[in-house]
Amino acid sequence: MSYSIEVNGLTVHYKNFKALDQLNFKLSPGKIHGILGRNGAGKTTLLTYLASFHKAKHGTIVIDGEDPFENERILQGTSFIYEKDNTYDYDKIDKIIKGMLYFRPYFDEAYARELVKRFKIPTNKSADQLSKGQYSALQVAIGLASRTPLTIFDEAYLGMDAPARELFYKEILLEQERHPRTILFSTHLVSEMEYLFDEVLIIDNGKVLLQETSEQLLEKGFSITGAKEDVEAFTKTLEVIYEEMLGGTKSVMVYGTLPKQEQREAVELDLEIGSLSINNLFIHLTKEEERT
Amino acid sequence: MKQFHLGWAFFIEQIKWASWFYSIIIVLTIGTTIANHWGFLDNLDISNNTSTIFMLIIGLLYSYGFLDYYYKLGISRKKFFKAALFASVLLSIILALAMITMIVLFETLVPALGFAVPWTDPLIGGGVLSFIQSIADYSVAHFFYLLLGWFMGLGFYRFRWKIGLLFILISFPFFGISALLQDKADIAHTIKFFTVNPQIISIGPYLIFFIMIAILIVCNYRLTKDAPIRL
């Protein structure tokens, strides 16, 4: 089971600051969506509105066909996993896991325990005794095992070491195969996580900068490497988002598609055409926005 | 989670805290009794202040602790409010019962052990009616203070500290009226200015308490139903 999301004209003000500005987008159900943006772009604000932490005053949010605010069904089916402070969480890990059974109808206790074991979280300790990384791993384990139709991970991996993050990513993909749901990921570790995303939504200065499937996005950029003069001549009419030089060799990143004819011309000029990563595109697109 | 189960779980969680609180109170009272016996302390005038302050603190935690916790587990604000109201009424009555039972046991056992009861106005002298009235008085006072704590906590949770401080100011009249109403002789004297009807004199304070409780319930509901949830 998974929820679809539709946002229309969502605007959020914090006093004189416009955190979100007329956001319009749809997120398809059963997919992993990467919600990307630079610091202060409005990602967490958006996610808290999707989780109905706040009531939308300007604009509308529709989740699985209904207004999610104070909607028992939608709230029960929505998990929001984020970096939490465990200082005052005195419950034992075992009690926390058992407790979830009362709140999340699809919670799989056995799977949660398996994840806790694999993340090497000591179950005889209370939550406040866990390290930051262990506590994040516990949140992630609960988020995965809750199997809520809408699961939001907002920088949930903070403090987790590389092997734990790797395990998390692997489990996300496995779980999505076993129990597809709508997963929203807000992250700054784009290069590490981009292979997980089915669709990408980039937010910049509170506005939707871009929304594409990962495939579409990857088709929107390419790199050209070769002799400096040839590269410059070839890319004169293209939208170059980044360039670097090494001796007489120049490498540029281009935003846009390259038609077959031009691809052939590039090969004739002995230019190397490469693909860009979502991370490359994200960095340079948001930089470009900053400049303008 | 069903409404009743949520309310019950909420109540059980608070009862755990209350049992710690009452254990400490019992130890302190035994200590006071011994100290009183050996002449270290003068007679102790016991009042329900300690338990009402406990309820006030529990109320303060309703938003920062419980609303926040339950909402993040998928419980709506409205459902939380109903569960909180159910748990707070039950907690107020159970704690009143516990308090009165503790006092009665103390007043029975302590003299039998050769010690003097460290307060001046013993409860067991007043008979069954006094016992029931004390339970009712304690229950109402507990509930009132919990609602007041909840109200102030909501002010801070919703509007942050500046407007939160205003909520403390708004609470002052409630504290003042409650203190006045709990001084039975004083309030009876005041009501006599308006009427000599003995029924009104005895029911009047309860009526005012219930009006204040109703106001606080309405305010707390209004403040909870669209409260922003903090990260």
What is the full per-residue pLDDT of chain A (292 aa) written as tens digits?
899 999 999 999 998 899 999 999 999 999 999 999 999 999 999 999 999 999 999 999 999 999 999 999 999 999 999 998 888 888 999 999 999 999 999 999 999 999 999 999 999 899 999 999 999 999 999 999 999 999 999 999 989 999 999 999 999 999 999 999 999 999 999 999 999 999 999 999 999 999 999 999 998 899 999 999 999 999 999 989 888 999 999 999 998 888 889 899 999 999 999 999 999 999 888 875 444 4
Of all residues in chain B, the one with the smallest CA distance to A77 is: B74
Strand-by-strand arrangement of the A78-82 sheet: A78-82, A150-154, A182-186, A32-37, A199-204, A207-213
Final residue in a domain of this structure, among A212, A238, A260: A212
Of all residues in chain A, the one with the smallest CA distance to B6 is: A102
Chain segment B40-85, per-residue pLDDT in tens: 665 555 555 788 999 999 999 999 999 999 999 999 999 999 999 9
Cα distances from B19 to residues A138, A150, A284, B30, in angstroms, run: 30, 39, 59, 16
Compute the distance between CA of residue A274 and CA of residue B220 in angstroms, rounded to an integer: 61
pLDDT category of residue B191 using cuts at 50, 70 and 90: low
Compute the distance between CA of residue B50 and CA of residue B56 in angstroms, rounded to an integer: 10
A243 and A182, same structural domain?
Answer: no
A56 and A184, same structural domain?
Answer: yes
Rg (CA), chain B: 19
Determine the residue type at A61.
I
Q: For chain A, what is the domain count? A: 2
The answer, yes or no, to whether residue B128 has pLDDT greater than 70, is: yes
What CATH number does the domain containing A197 carry?
3.40.50.300
The answer, yes or no, to whether residue B37 has pLDDT greater than 60, is: yes
Chain segment B79-123, per-residue pLDDT in tens: 999 999 999 999 999 999 998 888 888 888 888 888 777 777 777
What residue numbers bound the domain in which A242 lies?
220-291
Residue A82's pLDDT is 94
A156 and A242, same structural domain?
Answer: no
Final residue in a domain of this structure, among A212, A234, A268: A212
> B117 to chain A, minimum CA–CA distance in Å?
38
The answer, yes or no, to whether residue B179 has pLDDT greater than 70, is: yes
Compute the distance between CA of residue A175 and CA of residue A82 in angstroms, rounded to an integer: 19
A163 and A190, same structural domain?
Answer: yes
pTM of the model: 0.89
A162 and A110, same structural domain?
Answer: yes
Compute the distance between CA of residue A114 and CA of residue A119 in angstroms, rounded to an integer: 9
* B229 contacts on A by Cβ (under 8 Å): 48, 53-54
Structure tokens at B82: 């109903």
What CATH number does the domain containing A227 carry?
3.30.70
A192 and A128, same structural domain?
Answer: yes
Residue A109's pLDDT is 97
Final residue in a domain of this structure, among A187, A212, A237: A212
Q: What ranges in A200-277 are assigned the alpha helix state H? A: 214-219, 228-234, 260-268
> B192 to chain A, minimum CA–CA distance in Å?
49
Helix (H, G, I), strand (E, B) or coil at A55: coil
A187 and A155, same structural domain?
Answer: yes
Beta carbons of B41 and B115 less than 8 angstroms apart: no
Helix (H, G, I), strand (E, B) or coil at A149: coil
Nearest beta carbon to residue B229 from set A53, A71, A100: A53
Helix (H, G, I), strand (E, B) or coil at A259: coil
Chain segment A228-265, per-residue pLDDT in tens: 999 999 999 998 988 899 999 999 999 888 888 989 99
Compute the distance between CA of residue A191 and CA of residue A214 in angstroms, rounded to an integer: 13
Beta carbons of A265 and A234 less than 8 angstroms apart: yes
Rg (CA), chain A: 22
Compute the distance between CA of residue A24 and CA of residue A2 in angstroms, rounded to an integer: 20
ipTM (interface pTM): 0.90
> A45 to chain B, minimum CA–CA distance in Å?
10
Residue B190's pLDDT is 67
Residue A6's DSSP bridge partners are: A26, A62
Residue A288's pLDDT is 54
The answer, yes or no, to whether residue B184 has pLDDT greater than 70, is: no
